[in-house]
């Protein structure tokens, strides 16, 4: 029997993260490890209702990504469940920070700090904790969900100057991902923009741009993320 594909995704309580879980579990022989802040919460409990294909299963754990040692604890929990490697890690958990899409002249220290802790430091802590399990995969992949708002090349055009705390923190995440790519030749490392997606965060962004809602469905975004991961292409 073929060994299952093992995927670890953070921030799966809603939005893109949950859609990724649903999409992966619809595939046979796939083990999905999904993290939420509190697996005992109502959001965490509903994950068990997601249908699974033959040979597929879901393992949910609690993880506060901004805590420096939390990812290490999560990895110990994964290993205790008998999982000895990870094929794919998707750092999806992220926040826009209060007050959301405020401009650079009014963004608060709280927003800057919280976004940096969750969006930049969180994935770094996650990579450090999961590296040893990724090394045991035959084809390991490290994927981070970034945003076009983090692009310095687009800054100041098409409204890309919005949400400074979010954009700055994701720009830092992009730097970290390039560093992972450059220093770990055995690993495929990708930072990608998931689209302007019909999630709470995406719809809020769309409204700040004068749109009724975000144009990209959660399913289309999840499918594209998985396609890029599979093909190592950036045009999906």
132 within a domain of the structure (yes/no)? yes
> If 0-12 CB within 10 Å is exposed, 13-18 middle and 19+ buried, where does residue 134 land?
buried
Q: Kindly state whether residue 236 falls inside one of the protein's structural domains.
A: no
| Predicted pLDDT at 207 | 78
Express each pLDDT in 149-192 by its tens digit. 898 888 877 667 878 999 999 999 999 999 999 999 999 999 99
Q: DSSP secondary structure string, the chain? A: -PPPEEEEEE--SSHHHHHHHHHHHTSSSEEEEEEES-TTSHHHHHGGGS---TT-EEEEEE--TTSTTHHHHHHHHHHHTT----SEEEE------TTSS--TTT--HHHHHHHIIIIIIHHHHHHHHHHHHHTTSSS-EEEEE--GGG-GGGTTSTTTTS-HHHHHHHHHHHHHHHHHHHH-TTSEEEEE---SBSSHHHHHHHHHTT-SS-SB-HHHHHHHHHHHHHHT-S--
Within-domain flag for 220: yes
Sheet holding 30-36, edge to edge: 57-62, 30-36, 5-10, 88-91, 141-145, 188-192
Q: Which long-range contacts (CB under 8 A, 24 or more apart) does 109-114 make?
A: 111/165, 112/164, 112/165, 112/168, 112/169, 114/66, 114/165
Question: Which residue's structure tokens are 């697996």?
Answer: 39
Rounded Cα distance between 7 and 21, Å, is: 9
- Domain membership flag for residue 235: no
Selecting among 39, 117, 141, 170, the annotated active-site residue is 170
pLDDT reported for residue 145 = 95
In this prediction, residue 231 carries a pLDDT of 55
Pick from 89, 80, 183, 73: nearest CA to 136? 89
Predicted TM-score (pTM) above 0.85:
yes
Residue 182: give its domain's CATH number: 3.40.50.720
pLDDT of residue 35: 98
Token pair, residue 85, equals 């490697």
Residue 136 designated active-site: no
Examine residue 96 and state whether it is found in any structural domain, yes or no.
Answer: yes
Q: Within a domain: residue 57?
A: yes
Which stretches in the chain have pLDDT values below 50?
Answer: 233-236
pLDDT value, residue 236: 28
Neighbouring CB atoms inside 10 A of 117's CB total 19
Find the domain containing 44 and state its range. 5-230
> Domain total for the chain?
1
Rounded to an integer, what is the distance from CA 143 to the centroid of its chain? Answer: 7
Active site residue 170: yes
Residue of 39, 117, 141, 166 marked catalytic: 166
Per-residue confidence (pLDDT) for residue 176, from 0 to 100: 98
Q: Is 67 inside any structural domain?
A: yes
């Amino acid at each position: 029997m073929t060994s299952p594909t093992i995927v670890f995704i953070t921030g799966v309580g809603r939005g893109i993260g949950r859609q990724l879980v649903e999409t992966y579990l619809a595939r046979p022989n796939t083990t999905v490890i999904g993290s939420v802040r509190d697996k005992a919460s109502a959001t965490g409990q509903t994950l068990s209702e997601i249908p699974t294909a033959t040979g597929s299963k879901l393992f949910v754990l609690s993880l506060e990504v901004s805590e420096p040692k939390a990812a290490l604890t999560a990895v110990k929990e994964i290993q205790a469940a008998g999982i000895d490697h990870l094929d794919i890690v998707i750092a999806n958990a992220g926040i826009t920070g209060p007050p959301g899409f405020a401009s650079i002249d009014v963004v608060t220290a709280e927003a800057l700090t919280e976004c940096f802790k969750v969006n930049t430091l969180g994935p770094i802590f996650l990579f450090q904790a999961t590296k040893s399990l990724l090394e045991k995969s035959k084809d390991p992949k490290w994927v981070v969900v970034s945003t076009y708002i983090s692009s310095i090349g687009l800054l100041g055009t098409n409204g890309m100057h919005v949400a400074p705390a979010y954009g700055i923190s994701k720009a830092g995440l992009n730097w970290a991902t390039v560093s992972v790519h450059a220093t770990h030749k055995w690993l495929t490392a990708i930072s990608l923009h998931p689209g302007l997606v019909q999630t709470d965060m995406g719809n809020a962004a769309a409204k700040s741009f004068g749109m009724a809602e975000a144009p990209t469905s959660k399913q289309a975004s999840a499918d594209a993320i998985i396609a890029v991961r599979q093909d190592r292409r950036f045009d999906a």
